């Protein structure tokens, strides 16, 4: 088994009284697309945010190439964030900047490239996600939901990351755009040879893009395996999730919205 | 929870809030002065916060000058001492009324704007996105705003002092028959060096407080668009209260 790129070891994460993870372990292997599925408000995004140090665990370790992310100095963390791109659920495009400036943001931060070169790279990234160059001049507010997600994708690949984290990339999209985003994830995986972690509760997308699926259930990942293994799993919690059945324990447990930046180091 | 417990909880939350603002200031002082200094961002924010506040600042200070002169003139008329209007009005306006009134109006407007903008960015995960792209949100968002408010408020106060004096001059001449030249001479004569120092020092202090509170509240906005409104309202109250307390403290230092 290859050395994991990202490794969670016995991670516990709490927000006040609410325990999101309890002694959770999970490994992300190089080159794979790992999909994290689970109910809403369960803490899937928290898992992604811990990977790049936006949130820090209360106990346990989060390792990137064997180095503890929460213990990294500022510069180390900056380098992790250069290598690990994050596609936010709503796109999180900067309202005050054009699409082109959004895409070039990481390049301006991490390189000493000229403006012309950054603009050229932004155009390449837009083409890669199926948008024409003219979009670069538009403001994010003028884009549709699907276009925003694709621009967010373009922004994430601009700096040629090793890993891309997708936080619910298909949420709020129509079936055509869901398919398009799924195809895009596969295309980027193929063309850029990146490792991907996708958080979703859209089962068709999960099945389409994943090498492995990890199912979040009761503060840990009791199931990690291929899509086929998941579909044929006899574990009741897996069957219930696939068929959309609500278990009694889940019904009585309220979903806690998590203020993600509450204990964030970066924000 | 009884009254004492409630009071204790209120004091504790107040201290926690002050600690949060202090931590933000320390962090900004640590990351802000590093290269690149972000002059473009500071300039942009100075235009947004300072230059766009010019009309409202001029209007407010013009009327403050006119109102104070009217009030004092009305009082001094009984003693036949309207010729002392310039002396009296200047010590009220320059070190106290112009700085504090501008801080409470324009400064609070600046702080509320910062909270609303940063709060919206927090809710839409744009602040997280800045961090995720390897930049420091404190350097990118807080540093330029704190610098801009610290820079622009004393400049607005300096201009406000001039406009308030002109407002006073207008009322002194038109209502009480004090010649403008005489009003100006007595106005300037009365001011001591300490008055000239107090006004910009207050401006810088209030500007820094406005920036720190506005940004802290924005960064600590809870989830949801409703929370942005609540954070902005809290900013208005908190900034006004802190400015009044800081003004009192600075007065005890200067006079």
**Identity of the residue in B128, B135, B223 whose CB atom sits nearest the CB atom of A54:** B128
Question: Residue A93 belongs to a domain with what CATH number?
Answer: 3.40.50.300
What ipTM does the predicted assembly reach? Answer: 0.85
Opening angle at CA A138, ends A165 and B232, nearest 5? 70
- Per-residue pLDDT of A145-169, as tens digits, reads 889 989 999 999 999 999 999 999 8
Q: What is the mean pLDDT of residues B212-228?
A: 92
Whether B167 is covered by a domain: the verdict is yes
Confidence of residue A247 (pLDDT cuts 50, 70, 90): low
Whether B49 is covered by a domain: the verdict is yes
Q: How many CB pairs under 8 A join A and B?
A: 72
Domain count, chain B: 1
Beta strand extents in chain A (DSSP E only): 6-15, 18-28, 33-37, 59-64, 67-68, 84-87, 163-167, 195-199, 212-217, 220-225
The 8-class DSSP code of residue B97 comes to: I
The DSSP secondary structure of A194-249, one letter per residue, reads -EEEEE---HHHHHHH-SEEEEEETTEEEEEE-HHHHHT---HHHHHHHTTPPPHH
Q: Is A25 helix (H, G, I), strand (E, B) or coil?
A: strand
Q: Does B44 touch chain A (CB under 8 A)?
A: no
pLDDT above 90: percentage of residues in chain A: 58
Q: Is A132 helix (H, G, I), strand (E, B) or coil?
A: coil
Whether B21 is covered by a domain: the verdict is no
Q: Does B225 touch chain A (CB under 8 A)?
A: no
Q: Does B47 touch chain A (CB under 8 A)?
A: no
* Alpha-carbon gap, residue A20 to A39, rounded angstroms: 12
Domain count, chain A: 1
For residue A246, what pLDDT is reported?
A: 60
Whether A156 is covered by a domain: the verdict is yes
Among B48, B125, B223, the residue to mutate for chain A (most A Cβ within 10 A): B125
For residue A248, what pLDDT is reported?
A: 52
For residue A262, what pLDDT is reported?
A: 43
Closest-CA residue of A relative to B31 is A74
Whether A15 is covered by a domain: the verdict is yes
Opening angle at CA B96, ends B90 and B97, nearest 5? 80
Q: Is A38 left (phi over 0), alpha (psi -120 to 50) or beta?
A: left
Residue B92 has pLDDT above 70, yes or no: yes
Place of tokens 């009365």: B190
- Per-residue pLDDT of A134-149, as tens digits, reads 899 999 999 998 899 8
Chain B CB contacts of A82 under 8 Å are 134
**Identity of the residue in B120, B127, B222 whose CB atom sits nearest the CB atom of A259:** B222
To the nearest whole Å, the CA of B149 is away from the closest chain A CA by 20
Residue B121 has pLDDT above 90, yes or no: yes
**Identity of the residue in B126, B134, B223 whose CB atom sits nearest the CB atom of A81:** B134
Structure tokens at B93: 């306006």
* Alpha-carbon gap, residue B88 to B110, rounded angstroms: 31
Asked if A266's CB is within 8 angstroms of B131's CB, the reply is yes
Specify whether the CB–CB gap between A64 and A84 falls below 8 A: yes
Chain B CB contacts of A49 under 8 Å are 128
Chain B CB contacts of A267 under 8 Å are 122, 127-128, 130-131, 137, 219
For residue A252, what pLDDT is reported?
A: 44
Confidence of residue A199 (pLDDT cuts 50, 70, 90): very high
- Per-residue pLDDT of B15-38, as tens digits, reads 999 999 999 999 999 998 888 888
Whether B50 is covered by a domain: the verdict is yes
Whether A121 is covered by a domain: the verdict is yes
To the nearest whole Å, the CA of B128 is away from the closest chain A CA by 6
Q: Is A61 helix (H, G, I), strand (E, B) or coil?
A: strand
Confidence of residue A256 (pLDDT cuts 50, 70, 90): very low
Residue A192 has pLDDT above 90, yes or no: no
Place of tokens 């200031």: B25
Whether B185 is covered by a domain: the verdict is yes
Question: What domain range is A193 assigned to?
Answer: 6-252
Whether A263 is covered by a domain: the verdict is no
Whether A261 is covered by a domain: the verdict is no
Q: Does B136 touch chain A (CB under 8 A)?
A: yes
Q: What is the mean pLDDT of residues B44-65?
A: 95
Whether A265 is covered by a domain: the verdict is no
Among B119, B128, B140, B225, the residue to mutate for chain A (most A Cβ within 10 A): B128
**Identity of the residue in B130, B132, B223 whose CB atom sits nearest the CB atom of A52:** B132
Q: Does B126 touch chain A (CB under 8 A)?
A: yes
Question: What domain range is B63 assigned to?
Answer: 37-254
Helix (H) or strand (E) holding B5: helix B3-31
Residue A255 has pLDDT above 50, yes or no: no
**CB neighbours of residue A85 within 10 Å:** 27
Whether A107 is covered by a domain: the verdict is yes
Whether A189 is covered by a domain: the verdict is yes
For residue A242, what pLDDT is reported?
A: 79
Whether B150 is covered by a domain: the verdict is yes
For residue A233, what pLDDT is reported?
A: 86
């Amino acid at each position: 088994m290859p050395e994991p790129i990202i490794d969670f070891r016995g991670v516990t994460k709490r927000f006040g009284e609410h325990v999101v993870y309890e002694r959770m372990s999970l490994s992300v292997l190089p080159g794979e697309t790992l999909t994290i599925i689970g109910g809403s408000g369960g803490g899937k995004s928290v898992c992604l945010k811990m990977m790049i140090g936006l949130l820090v665990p209360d106990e346990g370790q989060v390792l990137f190439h064997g180095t503890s992310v929460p213990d990294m100095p500022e510069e180390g963390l900056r380098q992790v964030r250069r290598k690990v791109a994050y596609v936010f659920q709503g796109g999180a495009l900067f309202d005050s900047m054009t699409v082109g400036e959004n895409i070039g943001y990481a390049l301006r931060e991490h390189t000493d490239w000229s403006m012309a070169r950054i603009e050229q790279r932004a155009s390449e990234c837009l083409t890669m996600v199926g948008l024409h160059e003219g979009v670069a001049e538009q403001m994010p507010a003028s884009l549709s939901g699907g276009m925003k997600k694709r621009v967010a994708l373009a922004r994430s690949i601009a700096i040629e990351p090793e890993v891309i984290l997708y936080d619910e990339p298909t949420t709020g999209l129509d079936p055509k755009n869901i398919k398009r985003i799924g195809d895009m994830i596969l295309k980027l995986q193929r063309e850029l040879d990146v490792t991907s972690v996708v958080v979703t509760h859209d089962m068709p997308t999960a099945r389409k893009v994943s090498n492995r699926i990890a199912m979040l259930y009761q503060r840990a990942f009791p199931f990690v395996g291929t899509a086929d293994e998941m579909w044929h799993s006899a574990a009741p919690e897996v069957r219930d999730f696939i068929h959309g059945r609500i278990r009694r324990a889940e019904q009585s447990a309220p979903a806690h919205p998590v203020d993600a930046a509450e204990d964030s180091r970066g924000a | 929870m009884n009254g004492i417990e409630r009071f204790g909880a209120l004091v504790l939350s107040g201290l926690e809030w002050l600690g949060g603002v202090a931590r933000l200031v320390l962090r900004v002082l640590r990351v802000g002065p590093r290269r690149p200094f972000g002059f473009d961002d500071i300039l942009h924010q100075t235009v947004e916060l300072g230059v766009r506040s010019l009309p409202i600042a001029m209007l407010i200070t013009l009327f403050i000058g006119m109102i104070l002169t009217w009030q004092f003139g009305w009082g001094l008329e009984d003693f036949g001492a309207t010729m002392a209007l310039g002396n009296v009005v200047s010590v009220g306006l320059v070190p106290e009324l112009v700085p504090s009134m501008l801080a409470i109006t324009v400064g609070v407007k600046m702080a509320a704007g910062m909270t609303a903008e940063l709060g919206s960015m927090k809710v839409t995960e744009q602040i997280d996105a800045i961090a995720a792209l390897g930049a420091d949100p404190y350097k990118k968002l807080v540093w330029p705003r704190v610098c801009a408010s610290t820079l622009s408020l004393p400049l607005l106060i300096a201009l406000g002092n001039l406009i308030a004096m002109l407002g006073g001059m207008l009322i002194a001449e038109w209502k009480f028959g004090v010649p403008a030249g005489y009003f100006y001479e007595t106005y300037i004569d009365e001011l001591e060096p300490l008055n000239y120092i107090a006004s910009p020092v207050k401006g810088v202090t209030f500007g820094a407080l406005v920036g720190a509170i506005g940004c802290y509240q924005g960064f600590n906005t809870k989830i949801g668009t409703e929370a942005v409104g609540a954070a902005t309202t809290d900013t208005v109250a908190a900034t006004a209260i802190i400015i009044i307390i800081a003004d009192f403290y600075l007065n005890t230092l200067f006079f």
